Amino acid sequence: MRAWAFVPVLGVIALLAGCSVSPFNLLSDEQRIDLRDGASAYQQEVLADLVVDETEYRQAAEDWHSCVSSSGAEPSDVTHNGNELTFNVTIQAATEMAVASIQRVADACLPEYFDAIGRVWVSQGTKLS
């Protein structure tokens, strides 16, 4: 068996790099609307008011984590990285094809549960308690 570790999607790297609010990650209401309207139904519901509160942010991270876990990948515990929540993922499978299959399913979890919500959270500059 081979162990594979990966960060689920490049978007996570951008989120991790955006721990502080700067002019580069502030989002206008128009940008938030575009994010919301292009997101999954799950994220659209959270972003209906164009704001992400801490409870919504934490729930989205947990739902993303659960989705990745259900894919057959092995996510670590959700942890704080600065003002953001994240986790690492390991995939163990007998073949590279099996790893790729699990990774495809795990990768689909980010845009389903977290990507737009995380981007709005970062742009708000809200501190985790």
String of DSSP letters for 37-65: HTS-HHHHHHGGGS---HHHHHHHHHHHH
Task: Provide the terminal-to-terminal Cα distance of the chain, rounded to the nearest Å.
Answer: 40
Quote the pLDDT of residue 25. 76
Residue 27 has pLDDT above 50, yes or no: yes
What is the pLDDT averaged over residues 63-86? 96
Looking at residue 10, its pLDDT comes to: 30
- pLDDT at residue 74 tops 90: yes
Q: For the chain, give the number of residues.
A: 129
Number of helices (H), then strands (E), belonging to the chain: the values are 7, 5
